[in-house]
Amino acid sequence: EAGVAQSPRYKIIEKRQSVAFWCNPISGHATLYWYQQILGQGPKLLIQFQNNGVVDDSQLPKDRFSAERLKGVDSTLKIQPAKLEDSAVYLCASSLGPGTTVEQFFGPGTRLTVL
């Protein structure tokens, strides 16, 4: 079974530039998550989708971050414009459905450096 795919793996940009990350979840997984992991910290949930609808985006900085999951499969996360504090690893995860005991399967992440 193929895992969660993410691209690119690394990205370096200047502040105020835009960047987009792509995620392809495990086939059949209805729930998709985007996390931000700053160096030395645990992942922080940015947005959670159930199929193509948003379940929770309370921690997404909506003035600069946006995400979509068209057709309930692939997802993209965009930052526009980027700030220095956005430097982090962006992790995508998927699970069969929502719940308190579901197993989330994570991709390898995209490491973003903002200069």
Partner 1 sequence: TQLLEQSPQFLSIQEGENLTVYCNSSSVFSSLQWYRQEPGEGPVLLVTVVTGGEVKKLKRLTFQFGDARKDSSLHITAAQPGDTGLYLCALAGGTYKYIFGTGTRLKVLA
| 24 vs 48, beta carbon nearer partner 1 | 48
Q: How far is the CB of 73 from partner 1 (least distance, A)?
A: 19
Residue 32 burial (10 A CB sphere; 0-12, 13-18, 19+): buried
Contacts (CB under 8 A) with partner 1, residues 65-104? 91, 93, 98-104
| One-letter amino acid of 46 | L
Question: How far is C-alpha 52 from the chain's CA centre?
Answer: 14
Omega before 8 cis (within 30°)? yes
Q: How far is the CB of 45 from partner 1 (least distance, A)?
A: 6
Q: What residues line the site for partner 1 (CB under 8 A)? A: 4, 33, 35, 40-45, 48, 55-56, 58, 91, 93, 98-104, 106-109
